């Protein structure tokens, strides 16, 4: 039996004029409670408490949030922020109850594109943030199937992203490759301990022992470097904040001027790193550490069935990628 396309009008349709219904669809600035605003799902841009954020907080404290954010209504109620995440964080920190927001009906792909375009206008963006933003926009454009009305043919998605961002096509590809590198290294560091990485690296480089390469020492240095990365990042942040409190400017000026401004950060950072390295070396000597000669391991590495499966899977994966590249070419 064929279904009828007939639908009953809503109460709003019955008791409002066409002009009122058209006016309701127009975009306007609304003051929306902060509790009804939710962050964009998969938002790649972090809200950092830096100098730029402090200027925004001070501005909102003095004159309030003037520039409206952009959001779209959610099916279950509330609104999903497209742009304005820093303004939301600033208002929450100041105890403001509402903020001005433009509400716009957007599909998932349209929302992703609008979110990326709006947040790429920030003064300071990390390369990793830009990489994931370009990747999200590229996937959204591919899903939409964007075409060019000027030439009447389908645009390459990468070229569309490059044109909008003012970057070259190759640069966009480099950023997108960076996302795969970040994901791969994240999986490795989340599933493998530093000791396992050290043992695996030493095992892989073991043939170099025959040409007198200090394999164990190289693997040990890599392990120590991985352990010290979070500590050095924390110290760098402390030194930068101390220098900024003294009036240092790391963001403005020419490349040479910014490079000179980094000297007060690098000098104490290197001094701290050398001091820690010296303390660690003394501690290792006190525990009779003498390199790989005669050392035993509590948990020696052994090849298992899952290792062979992983090798085979990796080879097959690389083979499929090469075949797809050849076919696509």
Is 143 a residue whose pLDDT tops 70?
yes
Shared-domain flag, residues 204 and 185: no
Shared-domain flag, residues 183 and 201: no
Range of the domain at 176: 126-191
Q: What is the pLDDT of residue 117?
A: 84
Lowest mean pLDDT of 81-90, 119-128, 237-246, 280-289, name the range. 119-128
Question: What is 110-133 written as a DSSP string?
Answer: HHHHHHHHHHTT-S---HHHHHHH
Residue-wise pLDDT for 288-324, tens only, equals 777 666 677 777 777 788 888 888 988 998 888 888 7
The answer to the question of residue 40 being in a domain is yes
Q: Are 127 and 175 in contact (CB under 8 A)?
A: yes
The answer to the question of residue 322 being in a domain is no
Helical (H) or strand (E) element with 22: helix 18-25
Is 191 a residue whose pLDDT tops 50?
yes
Helical (H) or strand (E) element with 217: helix 215-245
Shared-domain flag, residues 266 and 226: yes
> Vertex 241, ends 235 and 247: CA angle to 5°?
140
64 phi/psi in degrees, rounded to 5: 85, 175
What whole-number distance in Å separates Cα of residue 81 and Cα of residue 95? 19
Shared-domain flag, residues 88 and 171: no
The answer to the question of residue 197 being in a domain is yes
The answer to the question of residue 206 being in a domain is yes
Shared-domain flag, residues 220 and 139: no
Confidence class for position 150, pLDDT limits 50, 70, 90 = very low
The answer to the question of residue 208 being in a domain is yes
Mean pLDDT of 159-172: 77
Shared-domain flag, residues 132 and 240: no
Q: What is the pLDDT of residue 15?
A: 53
What whole-number distance in Å separates Cα of residue 156 and Cα of residue 162? 10
| Residue bearing tokens 């403005």 | 252
Out of 143, 173, 191, pick the residue that ends a domain.
191
Shared-domain flag, residues 72 and 157: no
The answer to the question of residue 154 being in a domain is yes
Q: What is the pLDDT of residue 87?
A: 86
Shared-domain flag, residues 184 and 212: no
Q: Are 72 and 105 in contact (CB under 8 A)?
A: yes
Confidence class for position 258, pLDDT limits 50, 70, 90 = confident
Long-range contacts of 110-117 (CB under 8 A, 24+ apart): 110/140, 110/144, 111/40, 111/72, 111/80, 111/82, 112/136, 112/137, 112/139, 112/140, 113/137, 113/140, 113/141, 114/70, 114/82, 114/83, 115/40, 115/43, 115/82, 115/83, 117/164
How many structural domains does the chain have? 3
Report the SS3 class of residue 282: helix
Shared-domain flag, residues 305 and 282: yes
The answer to the question of residue 2 being in a domain is no
| Residue bearing tokens 């040409």 | 211
Shared-domain flag, residues 284 and 221: yes
- Higher-confidence residue: 9 or 291? 291
Lowest mean pLDDT of 17-31, 246-260, 315-329, name the range. 17-31
Is 13 a residue whose pLDDT tops 60?
no
């Amino acid at each position: 039996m064929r279904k009828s396309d007939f639908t009953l009008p809503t109460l709003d349709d019955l008791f409002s004029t066409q002009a009122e219904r058209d006016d309701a669809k127009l975009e306007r600035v609304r003051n929306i409670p902060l509790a009804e605003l939710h962050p964009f799902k998969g938002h790649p841009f972090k809200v950092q408490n830096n100098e730029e954020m402090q200027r925004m907080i001070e501005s909102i404290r003095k004159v309030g949030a003037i520039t409206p954010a952009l959001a779209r209504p959610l099916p279950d109620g509330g609104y999903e922020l497209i742009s304005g995440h820093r303004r939301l964080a600033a208002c929450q920190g100041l105890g403001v109850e509402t903020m001005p927001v433009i509400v716009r009906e957007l599909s998932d792909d349209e929302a992703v594109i609008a979110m990326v375009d709006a947040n790429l206008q920030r003064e300071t963006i990390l390369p990793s943030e830009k990489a994931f933003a370009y990747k999200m926009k590229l996937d959204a454009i591919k899903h939409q199937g964007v075409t060019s009305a000027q030439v009447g043919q389908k645009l390459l998605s990468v070229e569309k992203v490059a044109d909008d961002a003012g970057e070259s096509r190759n640069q966009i590809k480099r950023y997108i490759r960076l996302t795969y590198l970040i994901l791969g290294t994240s999986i490795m560091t989340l599933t493998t301990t530093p000791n396992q990485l050290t043992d695996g690296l030493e095992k892989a480089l073991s043939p170099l022992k025959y040409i007198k390469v200090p394999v164990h020492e190289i693997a040990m240095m890599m392990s120590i470097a991985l352990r010290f990365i979070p500590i050095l990042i924390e110290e760098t942040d402390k030194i930068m904040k101390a220098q900024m409190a003294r009036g240092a400017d790391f963001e403005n000026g020419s490349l040479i001027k910014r490079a000179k401004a980094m000297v007060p950060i690098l000098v104490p950072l290197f001094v701290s790193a050398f001091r820690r390295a010296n303390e660690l070396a003394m501690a290792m000597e006190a525990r009779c550490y003498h390199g790989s000669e005669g050392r035993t391991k509590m948990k020696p590495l052994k090849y298992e069935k899952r290792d062979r499966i992983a090798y085979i899977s990796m080879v097959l994966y690389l083979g499929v990628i090469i075949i797809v590249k050849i076919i696509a070419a």
